[in-house]
Homo-oligomer: A and B are copies of this chain.
Amino acid sequence: MTGMSMFSYRPARDELAYTFGGRLPVAHVRSGEVFEVYTEDCFGGRVRGPADLPSLVCQAGQLNPVSGPFFVEGAEPGDTLAVHIVSIVPARGWGVSATFPYFGALTSTAHTATLQPPLDERVWVYDVDRAEGVVRYWASASDHLVELPLDPMIGTIGVAPAMEVRSTIVGDYYGGNLDTPELRAGSTLYLGVNVHGALLALGDGHARQGHGEACGVGVEIATVTTLAVELIKGVDTAWPRLETDAEIMSVGCARPLEDAYRMAQKDLTAWTVDLCGMQVLDAYQLLSQAARAPIGNVCDPNYTVLAAVEKDLLPRLHPPYGDVHARLRRLTATTAAGDTP
Contact = CB atoms under 8 A, between A and B. Distances in A.
B262 A148 contact: no
Interface centre among A163, A276, A303 (most CB of B within 10 A): A163
A28 to B, nearest CB: 24
- The number of times this chain is found in the oligomer is 4
Contact of A142 (B106, B107, B277): B277
Interface stretch (A8-16, A36-44, A213-221): A213-221
A256 B258 contact: yes
A114 B124 contact: no
Nearest to A266: B113
Contact of A165 (B21, B252, B254): B21
Interface stretch (A47-55, A184-192, A283-291): A283-291
A30 interface: no
A248 to B, nearest CB: 14
Interface in A298-329: 298, 303, 305, 313-316
Given A148-B313, A259-B113, A211 B293 contact: yes
Interface in A203-234: 208-219
A93 to B, nearest CB: 17
Contacts of A130: none
Nearest to A170: B164
A262 B114 contact: yes
Given A61-B162, A215-B284, A106 B112 contact: no
B259 A97 contact: no
Interface stretch (A67-75, A115-123, A332-340): A115-123
A105 interface: yes
Nearest to A173: B110
A154 B221 CA distance: 41
Given A212-B293, A259-B113, A265 B106 contact: yes
Contacts of A277: 142
B146 A281 contact: no
A265 B288 CA distance: 25
Given A106-B284, A116-B107, A284-B115, A258 B257 contact: yes
Nearest to A315: B144
A341 interface: no
Given A111-B254, A212-B293, A258-B303, 5 more contacts: A113-B262, A115-B266, A141-B282, A144-B315, A257-B258
In the A-B complex, the 3 residue pairs with the closest CB atoms: A256-B256, A211-B293, A257-B257
